[in-house]
Amino acid sequence: MADKTVKLQELRENLAKFAGEKDFSEFTPEDKNTWAQMNEEAKTLADEVREQQIFEKDMKANEEAIQTGKTVASLPIHEEQKEMPKGLGDQVRESRAYKSFMEDGQLNITSEVKYNPILESKTLLTETGYPPAVVRSDLIVPTALRNPNSVIDLFSVIPTDTYQYKYLEETTFTNNSAEVAEAGAFGESAIAFTENTENIRKFGVSIPVTEELLSDVASVNGYLDSRLKTMLQLRLDSELINGDGSAPNIRGILNKSGINTFDFSSYAGNLGRIGQLYEAITEIRKDAFMEADAILMHPSDWNDVVTSVTSDFAGTSSAGYAGKDPLFVGAGMFGNGVNPSIWGVRVVPTTAITAGTVLVGTFGGGLASHIITREGMEVAMSDSHDDFFTKDKVMMKASMRLGFAIYRATAFCSITNF
C-alpha cells in the first residue's frame, strides 16, 4: 500500500514537471503520446490505491462490528423510557459515508440511513413537501426562430474554387447607330468594361460540449449539429440584406451603392403604402428593365399593408361631408388566408429586415445577383483547443465560405419610413 502511494506521488510530480517544461501547443506527437500514457498510468494507480483504502476501511469496520456483537447487554426487567428517534441530519452525520468523506476524503461510500419521513413528520405531508418522482421527457423545445432560409432561397447559387470571384461589368455603352446616306460614314459606337471583384468570406460558429454528454445522450450530437447549421443560416440570411461590406463581412443589398430608394414619408399618392410599393416596382422596370420577383418586409409592416383602408368623402364644406364606403385593399374583404403577394409580386414577411424598411427587387435567376459558394456547410469536432484534451471537452464548430455578388444595383429598390 505504502509503495503504491509513494509511486503515485512520484508519477504526479513527473506529470507536473513534464507539463511545465513546454506549452501544450508545442507538444510533438511523441510528447502527446507520452503525456497520455503517463496520465493513464496515474489514473490506474490512483484507482488501485483508492480501492485498497476502501478495502482496509471496510475491514476495520467489520472488525469493530464483530467486537460490538460480542458485548452482552443487560435487559431491563421493567420497560424503560425509549430513546427519542434521531433526526435525518443526525443520522447522516453518523453514517460511514459521511465520516469517510470528512476524515479521509473518500467518495462513493454507500450508507443506509434508517429514517422514515412519514413517522417523523408532525404536519400534513403533501406533494409539496415530498414531491413524487417524475421522468423527464426526451423532448427538447428549441427557441422560436425565423425561417433561416426565407431570404437565402430567393437567390440563385453558383460555385467557385478560388478565394475571389471576378466578373466584367459593361460600364460604357455608347450607341451611335443611325441611318446612313449613300457613301456616308457609319457612326462609331463604344463599349467598355470594368472588372469587379467579390471576396469569399468565412462564416463560422462553435460551441463547447463534454465528451460525457456526447457519449451518454445519443441524440445530442445530431441536435447540436442541426442548431449550429441553423445559426450560420440565420447569420447569412441577415447579411444578404444588411451586411456592411467591411471585411470580413459581405455587402448586403441595402448597403450596395446604386440601388434605388424611396422615403415613404414623402409619398404624396392616393394609395398610401400599396401605391409606394408599386412605384418601387415601376422604378425597377424603368432603370433595370427587369420585373421584381419579391418584396421583403417585416411582419409588422405586412400587417399594416393587409389591414390598410382607403377612405373617400363626397359633398362640400357648406353642405357637409358624407363618408363613402371604405375600400379594404389588403385583406381581400377578410376572406380566407391572406395571400402573401401584392401587385402580383410575392411578399416575404421576415424579421431579417428591420421594421419600417422594405426591399423590392429581382432576387432570383442570377440576373441581378448571385450567392457564390467556395465551401459548403462543414461541421467538425476536436479536443485540440486550450485545455480541452485534459478536461474531456470537445469543441464543435460549423463553417462555410461564400461571397455575394450584386451585378445590377438598380434591380433593387428600398423604401424607408414605411
Of 113 and 155, which is predicted with more confidence? 155
Range name among 16-20, 146-150, 164-168, 219-223 with the lowest pLDDT average: 16-20
pLDDT of 228 higher than 80: yes
Tell me how far apart the terminal alpha carbons of the chain are, to the nearest angstrom: 81
At residue 31, the pLDDT reads: 75
Amino acid in position 408: R
Q: How many percent of the chain have pLDDT more than 90?
A: 39
How big, in percent rounded to 5, are the helix, strand and coil portions of the chain?
Answer: 35, 25, 40
Q: Whose CA is closest to 302, among 282, 277, 327, 284? A: 277
Distance CA 346, CA 378 (A): 32
Give the bridge partners for 375, in sequence order: 401
Q: What is the pLDDT of residues 88-123, one digit of tens each?
A: 566 666 777 667 766 776 666 666 666 555 445 456
Distance CA 205, CA 231 (A): 8
Range name among 8-12, 83-87, 358-362 with the lowest pLDDT average: 83-87
Given a contact cutoff of 8 angstroms between Cβ atoms, the answer to whether 58 and 97 are in contact is: no
Q: What is the pLDDT of residues 324-351, one digit of tens each?
A: 544 545 444 445 567 788 999 999 999 9
Distance of CA 31 to the CA centre of its chain: 37
At residue 84, the pLDDT reads: 62
Q: Whose CA is closest to 407, among 286, 259, 202? A: 259
**Residue 323: exposed, middle, or buried by beta-carbon count in 10 A (0-12, 13-18, 19+)?**
exposed
Distance (Å) of CA 213 to CA 134, 210, 224, 401:
21, 5, 11, 30
pTM of the model: 0.62
Distance CA 208, CA 225 (A): 12
Sole residue written with cell 459548403: 376
Distance (Å) of CA 215 to CA 112, 209, 285, 393:
31, 11, 58, 12
Q: Whose CA is closest to 347, among 335, 358, 355, 357? A: 358
At residue 331, the pLDDT reads: 47
At residue 387, the pLDDT reads: 85
At residue 40, the pLDDT reads: 82
Parallel, antiparallel or unpaired: strands 345-349 and 294-297: parallel
**Residue 55: exposed, middle, or buried by beta-carbon count in 10 A (0-12, 13-18, 19+)?**
exposed
CA-CA-CA-CA torsion sign (18, 20, 23, 26): negative
Q: Give me the mean pLDDT over the 377-390 stretch.
A: 85
The upper half-sphere exposure of residue 325, i.e. CA atoms within 13 Å in the direction of its Cβ, equals 4
- What class is the 163-179+187-313+325-416 domain? alpha beta
Q: How many percent of the chain have pLDDT more than 70?
A: 77
User: What 8-state DSSP symbol labels residue 417?
Assistant: -
Q: Whose CA is closest to 375, among 208, 225, 157, 197? A: 157
Per-residue H/E/C for 34-75: HHHHHHHHHHHHHHHHHHHHHHHHHHHHHHHHHHHHHCCCCC
